């Protein structure tokens, strides 16, 4: 027996053809199987999913855009409606004002007319009353005159004086 039996043999740097053969076989098999069975499908699935996500994002953006458009449209409509309302209110107010003023005017006119009419009526009535009064006075004076005449006619001088006084009275009235 010798002293040190196992001198260091750095065998891992000596390429063994068997190991090369098996490494190549195993690696190529793993490559083929994994590629066919896993990596290609995974790659396609990932791509598909990324596309789906992109589409979803695009759609969301589109929907958001549409929403914004819709909102703007609504706001526009609202604004228009409000303007319309304000206009209508304003017009109504104006109409009211004119109607009121017209009515006032009319009422004034009517009142005036009524007053006028009343005045005319009063005048007429007064005139009628005056006429009536005149007539009454006339009648009275005739009666008086008759009575006086009947008495006076008995006295000539008195008769004349009486007539004269009567005429003076008439002038006075």
| Rounded alpha-carbon distances, angstroms, from residue 148 to 50, 101, 142, 172 | 140, 66, 9, 19
Match 């053969």 to its residue by tokens.
21
Encode 146-164: b = buried (16+ Cβ within 10 Å), e = exposed.
Answer: eebeeebeeeeeeeeebee
> Which range binds another protein by CB under 8 A, 37-45, 82-90, 113-121, 152-160?
37-45
Residue 39 engages another protein in binding (rule: CB under 8 A): yes
Binding-site member from 7, 150, 156, 171 for another protein (CB under 8 A) = 7
Could you tell me the CA-to-CA distances from 1 to 7, 8, 9, 109 in Å, in that order?
14, 18, 19, 154
SS3 155: coil
Where in 82-141 is the site for another protein (CB under 8 A)? none
Residue (43 or 165) nearer to another protein, CB: 43
Distance separating the N- and C-terminal Cα atoms of the chain = 192
Contacting range for another protein; rule: CB under 8 A; set: 34-42, 64-72, 90-98, 156-164: 34-42
CA dist., res. 68 & res. 71, Å (int): 5
21 forms part of the interface with another protein (CB under 8 A) = yes
Q: Smallest distance from the beta carbon of 46 to another protein, in angstroms? A: 7
154 sits near another protein (criterion: CB under 8 A):
no
**Is the CB of 17 or the CB of 173 nearer to another protein?**
17
CB 148 within 8 A of CB 162: yes
Q: Rule CB under 8 A: is residue 33 a binding residue for another protein? A: yes
Q: Which stretch binds another protein (CB under 8 A): 17-25, 65-73, 99-107, 129-137?
A: 17-25
Is position 4 an interface residue for another protein (rule: CB under 8 A)?
yes
Residues that bind another protein (CB under 8 A): 1-24, 26-31, 33-35, 37-43, 45-46, 48-49, 52
């Amino acid at each position: 027996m010798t002293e040190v039996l196992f001198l260091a043999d750095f065998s891992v740097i000596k390429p063994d053809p068997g190991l090369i053969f098996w490494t190549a076989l195993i690696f190529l098999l793993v490559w083929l199987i994994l590629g066919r069975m896993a990596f290609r499908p995974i790659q396609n699935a990932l791509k598909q999913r990324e596309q789906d996500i992109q589409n979803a994002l695009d759609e969301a953006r589109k929907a958001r855009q549409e929403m914004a458009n819709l909102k703007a449209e609504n706001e526009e409509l609202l604004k228009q409606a409000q303007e319309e309302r304000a206009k209508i209110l304003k017009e109504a107010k104006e109409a009211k004002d004119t109607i009121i003023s017209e009515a006032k005017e009319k009422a004034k006119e009517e009142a005036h007319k009524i007053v006028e009419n009343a005045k005319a009526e009063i005048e007429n009535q007064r005139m009628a009353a005056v006429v009536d009064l005149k007539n009454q006075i006339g009648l009275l004076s005739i009666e008086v005159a008759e009575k006086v005449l009947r008495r006076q006619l008995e006295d000539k001088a008195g008769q004349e004086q009486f007539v004269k006084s009567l005429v003076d009275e008439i002038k006075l009235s």
